[in-house]
């Protein structure tokens, strides 16, 4: 019985051969949903979650950016992460998720350390705006020549 062993170089060559197919499939998947809105919304939740629970030191001096409502930043950050995932998985919820993202980003400013030191607010407002503005790709529309608008 002959065992064929694949080397790491063989596996790399196989992956590189399939890379164009993967890129084209990802590009078509990304075009069918508000991908960038979901990415910005997800990115808005990360700094809002991080700053209240981070132990930072600046030249040996402890820097604490905690609020009395650390649970508020935990809730807002978690909801923004969930909305970012929902935008990528359920594009038909884009208007609800966009408005909820805009409201949560604005509420995070006074509740969660200036909205994650302005990073969460900026990403949240960008992601919410992109989600509300995104439109699904049009269904298969007939071209202008097929519709009789040829202009002859």
Inform me whether the pLDDT recorded for 151 exceeds 70: no
104 contacts 81 by C-beta, under 8 angstroms = no
Instruction: Read off the pLDDT band of 1 (50, 70, 90).
Output: low
- pLDDT score for 66: 60
Give me the residue spans of the domains in the chain.
32-133
The model's pTM is: 0.75
- Of 60 and 132, which is predicted with more confidence? 132
129 contacts 98 by C-beta, under 8 angstroms = yes
Inform me whether the pLDDT recorded for 146 exceeds 60: no
Inform me whether the pLDDT recorded for 142 exceeds 70: no
- pLDDT score for 140: 72
Per-residue pLDDT of 12-56, as tens digits, reads: 888 888 888 988 998 998 889 999 999 999 999 999 888 777 776
- Of 12 and 130, which is predicted with more confidence? 130
User: What tokens appear for 62 in the block?
Assistant: 């402890």
- Cβ-in-10-Å burial (0-12, 13-18, 19+) of 125 comes to middle
Per-residue pLDDT of 56-115, as tens digits, reads: 677 777 766 565 667 788 899 999 999 999 999 999 999 999 999 999 999 988 888 777
- pLDDT score for 141: 59
């Amino acid at each position: 019985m002959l065992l064929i062993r694949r080397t790491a170089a063989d596996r790399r060559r196989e992956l590189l051969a399939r890379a164009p197919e993967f890129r084209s499939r990802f590009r078509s998947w990304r075009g069918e949903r508000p991908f960038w809105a979901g990415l910005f919304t997800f990115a808005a939740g990360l700094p809002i979650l991080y700053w209240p629970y981070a132990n930072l030191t600046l030249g040996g001096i402890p820097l604490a950016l905690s609020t009395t409502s650390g649970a508020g930043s935990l809730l807002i950050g978690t909801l923004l992460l969930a909305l970012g995932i929902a935008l990528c998985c359920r594009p038909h919820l884009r208007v609800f998720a966009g408005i909820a993202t805009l409201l949560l980003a604005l509420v995070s400013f006074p509740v969660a350390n200036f909205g994650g030191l302005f990073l969460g607010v900026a990403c949240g407002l960008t992601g919410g705006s992109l989600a509300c503005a995104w439109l699904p790709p049009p269904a298969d529309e007939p071209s202008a020549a097929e519709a009789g608008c040829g202009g002859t």
